[in-house]
Amino acid sequence: MIHLYNTSAGIVALHQGNAFVLMHSSWDALINRDDAYAHLQQLLAQTAVAGNEQWLQQQTILPPIGSQEVWAAGVTYLRSKTARMEESKESGGATFYDKVYDAERPELFFKATASRVRGHLQPLRIRQDSSWNVPEPELTLVITSSSKIVGYTIGNDMSSRSIEGENPLYLPQAKMYDGSAAIGPCILVLPQPIAPHTGIAMRIERMGATVFEGATSIDRMKRTHQELVSFLYREYSHPHGCYLMTGTCVVPDNDFTLQQADVVHIHIDGIGTLTNSIA
């Protein structure tokens, strides 16, 4: 496996404990290749080692994104469906989530432009006009312009549940605002699909104490990754490729809401840990 980082030192590939700075590569060109893994292997064979993992951690880690849009899928896990139905019960919108869970067409929505995405150790925000806010840990697909999945990263799909629960038509306001999305710390590039039993976990700290902890595996998802991609690319082009958050199954209880200065850690096996504070 190859881990691709966007850093203050440039694009860095971490492979077998060695870090390589890919000096003459652009982010958009690297990830928008159907042969991304093979191409990176060729580049590493031609590039001198710049350091190790410790050297890499001394660099500033930037969001691993170029010109791509970030999209998201909703209600792909049973727990997510249940949570959305609970939050929308009073508005009468609960049946919408019940129906979309079983429907052929998935829920897909635009999440963020690259300029609105935060990276590892960068702060995220909660909306000031929302009283119920949660992080959502999600495996995020890295997809080329031809709809091929070539990599994976960690996503935090921040959600203002009080706004979405008031009316499902408020979804864009609940999901899209400055500092509402994080991805990172890197892109995991593999020659084959990620293992179905891959684990995903989230831990939230408040004043140094853990206030929420949960975990699951991505094989709990109702829809396949390629199924989601096929709908995302229908009638819509992504010339630089695209990132797709695939939904969450780790959802805090209804009495939990994020507070400023909370710290969210999301871990996915094989990729790493994405950490963001809440501003």
| Interior angle at CA 188, CA 35 and CA 150, nearest 5 | 30
pLDDT in tens, 165-181: 899 899 999 999 999 99
Q: Which two tokens stand for residue 5?
A: 């980082």
Res 99 pLDDT > 90: no
pLDDT band at 97 (very low <50, low <70, confident <90, very high): confident
pTM of the model: 0.92
118-125 mean pLDDT: 98
Res 78 pLDDT > 90: no
Res 76 pLDDT > 90: no
Calpha distance 195→21 (Å, rounded): 28
Residue with tokens 């052929």: 104
Strands (E), the chain: 2-7, 10-15, 18-21, 51-52, 61-62, 69-74, 107-112, 117-118, 133-134, 137-143, 149-157, 159-160, 181-189, 199-206, 209-217, 242-245, 263-268, 272-277
| DSSP alpha helix (H) spans, 114-206 | 161-166, 171-175
Q: How many Å is the Cα radius of gyration of the chain?
A: 18
Q: Count CB atoms within 10 A of the CB of residue 270.
A: 13
Calpha distance 145→155 (Å, rounded): 20
Cα dist. 1→45, 100, 155, 218 in Å? 15, 35, 19, 19
Backbone region of residue 99 per phi and psi (left: phi > 0; alpha: psi in -120 to 50; beta: other values): alpha
Helix and strand numbers (H, E) in the chain are 8, 18
Of residues 225, 150, 224, 244, the one with CA closest to residue 191? 150
Cis status, amide bond into 185, omega within 30 of 0:
yes
pLDDT at position 87, please?
Answer: 61
Residue with tokens 């829809």: 223
Helix axes 94-102, 78-87, angle to 10 degrees: 160
Q: Which residues, other chains included, contact 169 with Cβ-Cβ below 8 Å and sequence gap of 6+?
A: none
pLDDT in tens, 206-234: 999 999 999 999 998 889 999 999 999 99
